[in-house]
Amino acid sequence: MATARMSLSRCGLCLLLALLLCTVHYAVALEIYTPNELYVENGTYAKLPCSFKSTDVTSSTTSITWTYTEEGSSAAGLVIFHYIGGKQFSGQVQRFKDRVSWAGDINNRDVAIKIDKITFKDNGTYSCSVMNPPDISSTPKQIKLHVVEKNNLPASNVPFLVGIICAAIGGLLLIAIIVFAVVITKKKRSRKNYTGSGDSGQTESLMSPVKQPPRRSPSDTEALVTGAPSGTVQGPVIYAQLDHSGKAGNQINKSETVVYADIRKNC
């Protein structure tokens, strides 16, 4: 008996833990996403965005419920729209009848709605609730709607964010261009240095004079002997015409230019 009771106790404990795990799983399995606030101009329309994330696929049993709470009211929200199985139903607030329509895509888990002819009376809090069996437990998300005069919408942060993104992309491109230019410049310099060293060596080898044995400067006698032709050679003969008039005693005057003749006897 004691063993049986212990076995039952263990089985009960296991079942309790399993139920707790299942409850925790389904409590966090479905998540809903909406913006906190939305501004629209009076007389236009408002698209209230809402999406969800679920571990299970959507089906005909997936249902969406939108409720509305007037601004400054603490009462529970009133249903203004309900969607299930591809069909939409108006809620219990008469002034929203025929003004609220489906604007989502259940296959993409988009459950947005559209409200036409927005007025200042539509200011308030709108709540989005989703059930996607077996994910049936989720926390509804709320949007606070602000209806303002035309041309009085608050400045959007989108242009600012776009400017920041563009500036960041431009900065990255500039850095990439600079790095690319530096790499190309280094490659060109390395090629130029390599080519220059090769050319200089080649030029040096071409321009270097041919080495010849040293020459010994010959003396005058050796030059004459070396340059003289073979055979008997008669040296130069000097002819001079002298003046024998005897006018100045023994003085000899040269009357004509000395003529040199190089007479060589050919062998």
Tens digit of pLDDT for each residue in 188-247?
Answer: 888 777 665 555 555 444 455 555 666 655 554 444 444 445 555 555 555 445 555 555
Task: Tell me the average pLDDT across 150-178.
Answer: 77
160 domain residue, yes or no: yes
130 domain residue, yes or no: yes
Of 140, 99, 137, 101, which is closest to residue 118 (Cα–Cα)?
A: 99
CB atoms within 10 A of CB 145: 19
**Do 238 and 258 contact (CB within 8 A), yes or no?**
yes
Residues 167 and 138 in one domain: no
Residue type, 201: G
Nearest-Å Rg of the Cα atoms of the chain is 58
138 domain residue, yes or no: yes
Please give the share of the chain, as a percent, with pLDDT higher than 70.
58
Select the more confidently predicted residue: 32 or 206: 32
Least confident interval from 31-45, 63-77, 144-158, 230-244:
230-244
Residues 59 and 178 in one domain: no
Residues 105 and 171 in one domain: no
What distance lies between CA 205 and its chain's CA centroid?
50
In the sheet with 78-84, reading across from the earlier edge strand, the strands are: 37-41, 141-148, 124-131, 63-70, 78-84, 87-90
Residues 78 and 145 in one domain: yes
221 domain residue, yes or no: no
Chain-wide mean pLDDT for the chain?
74
Q: Residue 174's domain spans which residues? A: 155-186
Domain boundary among 186, 209, 235: 186
Residues 56 and 105 in one domain: yes
Q: Indicate the pLDDT class of residue 45, thresholds 50, 70 and 90.
A: very high
Task: Tell me the average pLDDT across 50-62.
Answer: 91
Residues 147 and 51 in one domain: yes
Upper half-sphere CA count for residue 114 (Cβ side, 13 Å)? 9
Predicted confidence at residue 161, as pLDDT, reads 58
Residues 47 and 124 in one domain: yes
Residues 31 and 144 in one domain: yes
**Do 62 and 130 contact (CB within 8 A), yes or no?**
yes
Q: What is the pLDDT of residues 93-140, one digit of tens each?
A: 888 988 999 999 999 999 999 999 999 999 999 999 999 988 887 889
CATH of the domain at 69: 2.60.40.10
The torsion angles phi and psi of 212, rounded to 5 degrees, stand at -120, 155
What is the rounded (10 degree) CA torsion for 15, 17, 19, 23? 180
Predicted confidence at residue 223, as pLDDT, reads 45
Task: Tell me the average pLDDT across 38-61.
Answer: 93
87 domain residue, yes or no: yes
170 domain residue, yes or no: yes
pLDDT over 80 (residue 48): yes
146 domain residue, yes or no: yes
Residues 144 and 164 in one domain: no
- Identify how many contiguous H helices and E strands the chain contains and give both numbers: 3, 13
43 domain residue, yes or no: yes
What distance lies between CA 250 and its chain's CA centroid?
115
Residue type, 181: A
Residues 178 and 58 in one domain: no
Residues 116 and 30 in one domain: yes
Domain boundary among 129, 152, 175: 152
Predicted confidence at residue 75, as pLDDT, reads 78
Angstrom distance (rounded) from CA 50 to CA 46: 13
Residues 73 and 85 in one domain: yes
Angstrom distance (rounded) from CA 113 to CA 116: 10
Query: What is the total count of domains within the chain?
Result: 2
Task: Tell me the average pLDDT across 22-49.
Answer: 81
Angstrom distance (rounded) from CA 112 to CA 221: 124
